[in-house]
Chain A
């Protein structure tokens, strides 16, 4: 019984990773999650908690809204 993968977040993690020249493994290790979690967040198929979003944003020295963006579709669902 799988949950639907709802694309709500758009994230800049991939761009920021390229800027900082850091791999998914390295980022996952720094944040304290698995590589799969970073991959799913980048794909937009997993919505991270606020805590995790803050951790990721802080790592890149940005605010949460600079790294994550909620789409119109996601806003309409609320």
Chain B
């Protein structure tokens, strides 16, 4: 079964590598270069998040190594995300607006504060694990996810000006 997954991961890797190489070798103007860098940034952030999440789940199960097939799948995911974001960045027909783009600064700050609060609650529950010993891994994942979200919202705040 593991061999099948490895084969699939490798085939997907080969398939996604071709468009990535095509994008990389194409001559770009400054808007395309900017879009490419944005795409790499997005894929790095998301793949690091996924890697951390998988790592936490494995640690929760008491496994202290990650199989190579998982690493290949994360690389596949990273390449797919970077290609999608690149295409979205260069699209001139439909202007995509992200969920964050629709929110005003006050809403973003509120969301960031909610996420920080939830992270603190999950960390606290994890620390007091004798209360719910079976759910320790869930609390850990919850803390990780909300910490990631609070970082995302927090990074957005630095670009905003709050009305006094």
Interface residues in chain A, defined as those with a beta carbon under 8 Å from any beta carbon in chain B: 1-5, 32-34, 36-37, 39-40, 45-46, 48-49, 52, 77
Contact = CB atoms under 8 A, between A and B. Distances in A.
26 contacts: A1-B41, A1-B45, A1-B46, A1-B85, A1-B98, A2-B38, A2-B88, A2-B96, A2-B98, A2-B101, A4-B101, A4-B159, A5-B95, A33-B29, A33-B31, A36-B90, A36-B92, A37-B30, A37-B31, A37-B32, A40-B31, A40-B92, A46-B31, A48-B30, A49-B30, A77-B161
Contacts, number: 42
Q: Determine chain B's interface SS by DSSP, over half rule.
A: helix
Contact of B29 (A37, A45, A77): A37
Interface residues of B, number: 21
B109 interface: no
